[in-house]
Structure 1
Amino acid sequence: MTLLTILLLACITFGTRYLFLEGRLPVRLGPNLRLLLSYSGPSVLAAILAPILFVRSDQLALSASNPYLWGAAAAITAAYKTGNIYWTIGAGMLVFVAAGQLI
């Protein structure tokens, strides 16, 4: 049953991606649907990051001793100031490690 589920999900994933990536197929998205899909990346990223940043041991962790919050704040600031992905990652990692060592 598990193998069947994995194969079925693989076929569904391939099929949906193939429709949009194959240029010879007559599937075109309208402007409203394109606008709607442009929000999917940030939405998925927020859904992944929110539990990592704000939850510790099944409780909300909004204290100053949370190194994940310090790293995220540094990464957001670096992204806003520089617009460079490397500086953003470096600043976030540096502050996260430093906060983890100091707190």
Structure 2
Amino acid sequence: MIMFYILAMTAVVFLSRYLFLEPRLPLRLNARAQHLLSFSSPAVLTAIWGPIVFLPEGELSMTPDNPYLLAALLAALIAWKTKNVLLTTVVSMGLFLVLKLIVFV
């Protein structure tokens, strides 16, 4: 039964991507639908990182000894100031590694 669910979800994901990405199909979205879909990526990313940053131990942690929160704040600041994805990723991951392994042992 699990294999059936895996195959069914594979088909759903493939077909949903194929319908919108295949240029020979006559399916086109209007400007309003495209504008609404532009919010899906930030929403999904927020749903992924939000619990990791704010609930690292399964409960709300907004304290200064939360390395996830400190690294996320630095990443947001660097991204806002520099607009450089690679720099933001490398520096914030480095800070998180230092905080997690050395400072908050």
What aligned pairs does 1:18-97 form with structure 2 within 5 A after superposition?
Answer: 18-97=18-97
TM-score after normalising by structure 1 = 0.94
Aligned residues: 103
The one-letter code matched in structure 1 to 2:35 is L
d(CA) in 2 for partners of 1:76, 1:48: 15
The one-letter code matched in structure 1 to 2:88 is T
d(CA) in 1 for partners of 2:95, 2:14: 39
d(CA) in 2 for partners of 1:75, 1:11: 36
d(CA) in 2 for partners of 1:83, 1:56: 27
Greater than 6 Å deviation, 4+ residue runs:
none
Identity, % of aligned positions: 40
Could you say which residue in structure 2 is the equivalent of 1:8? Answer: 8
Cα distance per residue 1:35-92 (max 9 Å; x no partner): 1100000000000111100113321011000000111011111111111111101121
d(CA) in 1 for partners of 2:23, 2:69: 43
What's the secondary structure of 2:23's corresponding residue?
coil
The one-letter code matched in structure 2 to 1:11 is A
Give, in angstroms, the shift of residue 32 of structure 1.
Answer: 0.8
The root-mean-square deviation of aligned C-alpha atoms, in Å, is 1.0
Could you say which residue in structure 1 is the equivalent of 2:103? Answer: 102
d(CA) in 2 for partners of 1:75, 1:56: 17
